[in-house]
Amino acid sequence: MFSETRISQFRDHTTPFYFYDLDVLKQTLQQIDKHGIRKGYHVHFALKANHQPRILEEIRKAGLGADCVSGGEVQRALDCGFEPHQIAFAGVGKRDSEINLGLEHDIFCFNCESVQELQVINELAEAKDCTARVALRINPNVDAKTHKYITTGLDENKFGINEEDLPLIFELLPTLKHIDLIGIHFHIGSQIEELKPFRELCDRANSLNQVFSDKGIQLKVINVGGGYGINYADPDGNAIPDFEHFFGLFDEHLNLRDDQELHFELGRSVTGQCGSLITEVLYTKHGRQKNFAIIDAGMTELIRPALYQAKHSIQLLTPISTETDTYDVVGPICESSDTFRTDLEFPKLERGNLLAIRSCGAYGEVMKSQYNLRQGIDSVFSVDLD
Ligand SMILES: *Cc1c(COP(=O)(O)O)cnc(C)c1O
Say if residues 374 and 298 touch (Cβ distance below 8 Å): yes
In a domain, 17, yes or no: no
Looking at the structure, do residues 189 and 257 belong to the same domain, yes or no? Answer: yes
pLDDT in tens, 74-92: 999 999 999 999 999 999 9
In DSSP terms, 349 is beta-bridged to none
Pocket test for ligand 1, best of 43, 187, 194 (most atoms within 8 A of CB): 187
In a domain, 295, yes or no: yes
The response to whether residue 185 sits with its C-beta less than 6 Å from ligand 1 reads no
Say if residues 121 and 95 touch (Cβ distance below 8 Å): no
- Looking at 235, 253, 271, which one is the last position of a domain? 271
Looking at the structure, do residues 253 and 314 belong to the same domain, yes or no? Answer: no
In DSSP terms, 19 is beta-bridged to 276, 380
Q: CA 69 to CA 112: how far, in whole Å?
A: 11
Q: What angle do CA 258, 267, 201 make, to 5 degrees?
A: 45
Pocket test for ligand 1, best of 45, 48, 94 (most atoms within 8 A of CB): 48
Q: Which residues contact 8 (CB under 8 A, 6 or more apart)?
A: none
pLDDT in tens, 13-38: 999 999 999 999 999 999 999 999 99
In the chain, the number of structural domains is 2
Determine which helix (DSSP H) or strand (DSSP E) holds 87, and give its type and residue range.
strand 87-89
- CATH of residue 71's domain is 3.20.20.10
Looking at the structure, do residues 172 and 309 belong to the same domain, yes or no? Answer: no
- pLDDT of 106 over the 90 cut: yes
Say if residues 154 and 107 touch (Cβ distance below 8 Å): no
CA-nearest of 183, 131, 187, 184 to 159 is: 187
Looking at the structure, do residues 234 and 309 belong to the same domain, yes or no? Answer: no
- Looking at 230, 250, 271, which one is the last position of a domain? 271
In a domain, 380, yes or no: yes
Looking at the structure, do residues 248 and 278 belong to the same domain, yes or no? Answer: no
Distance of alpha carbon 10 from the chain centroid: 26
In a domain, 146, yes or no: yes
- Looking at 217, 243, 271, which one is the last position of a domain? 271
Looking at the structure, do residues 115 and 258 belong to the same domain, yes or no? Answer: yes
In a domain, 196, yes or no: yes
Q: What is the per-residue pLDDT for 1? A: 84
In a domain, 233, yes or no: yes
- pLDDT of 346 over the 70 cut: yes
Looking at the structure, do residues 168 and 292 belong to the same domain, yes or no? Answer: no
In DSSP terms, 132 is beta-bridged to 179
Q: What is the per-residue pLDDT for 210? A: 96
In a domain, 9, yes or no: no
Average pLDDT value for residue range 40-61? 98
pLDDT in tens, 298-324: 999 999 999 999 999 999 998 888 899
Q: What is the per-residue pLDDT for 288? A: 87
Say if residues 360 and 20 touch (Cβ distance below 8 Å): no
Rounded distance from Cα 265 to ligand 1 centre (Å): 6
The response to whether residue 333 sits with its C-beta less than 6 Å from ligand 1 reads no
Looking at the structure, do residues 122 and 264 belong to the same domain, yes or no? Answer: yes
- pLDDT of 267 over the 70 cut: yes
CA-nearest of 316, 366, 385, 269 to 24 is: 269
Rounded distance from Cα 101 to ligand 1 centre (Å): 21
The response to whether residue 226 sits with its C-beta less than 6 Å from ligand 1 reads yes
Rounded distance from Cα 67 to ligand 1 centre (Å): 8
- pLDDT of 349 over the 70 cut: yes
Q: What is the per-residue pLDDT for 143? A: 76
Looking at the structure, do residues 255 and 134 belong to the same domain, yes or no? Answer: yes
Q: Which residues contact 147 (CB under 8 A, 6 or more apart)?
A: 191, 308, 309, 310
- pLDDT of 70 over the 80 cut: yes
Q: CA 44 to CA 125: how far, in whole Å?
A: 24
Looking at the structure, do residues 98 and 153 belong to the same domain, yes or no? Answer: yes
In a domain, 83, yes or no: yes
Looking at the structure, do residues 209 and 151 belong to the same domain, yes or no? Answer: yes
pLDDT exceeding 70 applies to what percent of the chain?
A: 98
Average pLDDT value for residue range 266-270? 98
- CATH of residue 378's domain is 2.40.37.10
Rounded distance from Cα 102 to ligand 1 centre (Å): 19
pLDDT exceeding 90 applies to what percent of the chain?
A: 90
Q: CA 25 to CA 20: how far, in whole Å?
A: 8
Looking at the structure, do residues 169 and 216 belong to the same domain, yes or no? Answer: yes
Rounded distance from Cα 82 to ligand 1 centre (Å): 18
User: What does the mean pLDDT of the chain come to?
Assistant: 95
Say if residues 361 and 274 touch (Cβ distance below 8 Å): yes
Average pLDDT value for residue range 226-242? 97
Q: CA 23 to CA 21: how far, in whole Å?
A: 5
The response to whether residue 266 sits with its C-beta less than 6 Å from ligand 1 reads yes
What is the gyration radius of the CA atoms in the chain, in angstroms?
A: 22
Atom number in ligand 1 closest to CA 189: 7
Rounded distance from Cα 175 to ligand 1 centre (Å): 31
Rounded distance from Cα 227 to ligand 1 centre (Å): 6
Atom number in ligand 1 closest to CA 266: 9
pLDDT in tens, 144-198: 776 776 666 666 677 889 888 999 999 999 999 999 999 999 999 999 999 999 9
pLDDT band at 94 (very low <50, low <70, confident <90, very high): very high
Range of the domain at 167: 23-271
